[in-house]
Chain A
Amino acid sequence: MSGVLERRQARAAWFFLAPALALIGFFFFLPILGGFVLSLTDFDIYAIGSPEIARFVGARNYAQVLHGWEFWNALRNTIYFVIVGGPLSVLASLGAALLLSARLVRLKGLFRTAYFAPVVTTLVAVAIVWRYLYHPRYGFLNYALGALGVGPIDWLGDPRWAMPAIILLAVWKNFGYNMLILTAGLQSIPEELYEAAEVDGASAWRRFRSITLPGLAPTFLFVGVITMIGYFQLFAEPYVMTQGGPLRSTTSVMLLMYEEGFRWWRMGKASAIAFLLFAIVLAGTLAQLRMRREAR
């Protein structure tokens, strides 16, 4: 291809890229960098009217956040949600994916749609629905548990049960997503492997352990990373269902950031919280990637 044509194509390329790059650069990457700068200032409600009065305070916001009880409490709640809720979600997804991939099951498409439906629903709306399902007296969950002989649980009113309640909602809402990705992973495992193992007389459990699980390993990595990143951003569930209570037991880092930033307008401090969370998520992602590499 001649130089003129090449140049023409490059010009066209930048023309096609311009809107997307401008939007993403200006409204995504720039604010991320800006967030770090903001976290080093004392930007507060007075600075919103006149930004020039905000002063550079170095690492003071970070020191303040890390010395306070609030951040560690929120981080503990969020990690509880990620560490318990994440694996539970993936497990539920795996169970559903295996179930719907079984050769004997009919009407797979129909059931897949049903299992997936919660994923597309509006989180705010289903959080409101679940708030009533968790009602200690009239809620369906306690009614069902009562039938099994389990006493009434004050799901959203008891600090010990509020986070498990939010986890249960999150598992229900999200398992369909990973189910679908794991289904695709299952389909990529060659059928011959199973046939050969069956001929060799391997039990179903053995086939699962020696063929299915290793075959799904790359998919698990993907699912693990996106689930973790998503779960660290826990916000709407506690915002709608518990407002972070009772006794701050469901206040997540995102909720704390929202309160600091948009309720009290302490933007500097809130940015420090956002950045700490970002650093933790990044560390978690890299740790998962490394674990995977070492396992290989």
Chain B
Amino acid sequence: MTRRRPRGFLLHAVVVLGGLATLAPLLWMAGASFMQTGEANTYPPRFFPSEPTFEHYVHLFTRLDLARHFLNSAVVTVSVTLVSILVNAMAGYAFGKLRFRGRDRLFRLLLAGMMIPAQAGMLPLFLLLKQMGLVNTYLGVMIPSFASIFGIFLVRQYVLGVPDDLLDAARIDGAGEVRIFRTIVIPLILPILVTLGAFTFISAWNDFMWPLVVLSDGAKYTLPVALASLAGEHVQDTELMMAGSLLTILPVLVVFLLFQKVYFRGMMAGSIKG
């Protein structure tokens, strides 16, 4: 025991230092966002504001209309999350519990698609949406995310654990398939749907390249796109940009902290058996 104490102390020192180093950029961001204009560009650099101010946040919401982009992002993210939960749950259930010809081959084809970087089809996708009149619309931003192979896979793995007897009993009682799905399956797989929701929310909120391509009207920009364009115009305004960055990160960080357990569980489910 006596030999273990110094080693344990050293180990903890390393773990704590690693944690501080990891969080340092985010902490600096938070600190700088409350600094007086120009204070973030001083030598030596500071972590904490000398006289905290909210002026940059006020600036973002008054003159730069950040609330608009925040709302754009919120609408897009929440819609994508809700629709994709339903669409992926339905497909995952069919792959996991319903028998039909060609099921396994179809599922394998989808899984192989997971290895394709989605960007390979970005240009034709853009032209396709242009033909449909969906360029520069929110629907155009959202529609490619409404279904995801990963989401279907996640639900399917979980659905396999639902006992067949339960479903067959309901069928014998004369329940239709839609009703079985709604009243028996959904409640049973709710945990994985929450996980899927947290995943989708975070990745939809953070998405950058696709909204950048689809949206041309500045007023429609989602938050990350608006932030990137702001960063080009306000290179010198460090404190302002840090306030904008913090506001962009905050929602996903909150969702992550709230749903941490299910988020981690979903990652494990998606990786280990994959």
Contact = CB atoms under 8 A, between A and B. Distances in A.
Interface stretch (A116-124, A159-167, A207-215): A116-124
A102 B11 contact: yes
Interface in A94-145: 96, 99-100, 102, 104-106, 111-118, 120-126, 128-133, 135, 137-140, 143
A58 interface: no
Contact of A31 (B4, B8, B40, B121): B121
Of A26, A125, A140, A275, chain B has the most CB atoms within 10 Å of the CB of: A125
Chain B at the A interface: mostly helix, strand, loop or mixed? helix
A115 B121 contact: no
A138 B16 CA distance: 26
Contact of A184 (B113, B125, B272): B272
B29 to A, nearest CB: 5
Given A35-B121, A124-B224, A9 B100 contact: yes
Contact of A124 (B127, B202, B228): B228
A129 B241 CA distance: 8
A78 interface: no
Interface residues of A, number: 96
Contacts of B28: 129, 133, 140
B23 interface: yes
A27 interface: yes
Interface string B244-272: 11101100110111001000100110011
A38 interface: yes
Contacts of B25: 118, 126, 129-130, 133, 172
A165 to B, nearest CB: 13
B208 A236 contact: yes
B127 to A, nearest CB: 7
A98 to B, nearest CB: 11
A63 interface: no
A201 to B, nearest CB: 16
Given A14-B100, A99-B14, A229-B117, 14 more contacts: A10-B99, A13-B99, A23-B143, A30-B121, A31-B128, A37-B124, A106-B12, A115-B22, A121-B26, A124-B208, A138-B45, A184-B271, A274-B123, A278-B120
Interface of B: 4, 7-8, 11-12, 14-16, 18-19, 22-26, 28-29, 32, 40-45, 87-88, 90-91, 93-95, 98-101, 103, 110, 113, 115-128, 130, 143-144, 146-149, 152, 171, 177-178, 181, 202, 205-206, 208-209, 213, 223-225, 227-228, 231, 238, 241-242, 244-246, 248-249, 252-253, 255-257, 260, 264, 267-268, 271-272, 274
Across the A-B interface, the 9 shortest Cβ-Cβ residue pairs:
A31-B121, A34-B124, A20-B91, A12-B177, A13-B98, A10-B100, A23-B147, A125-B245, A16-B94
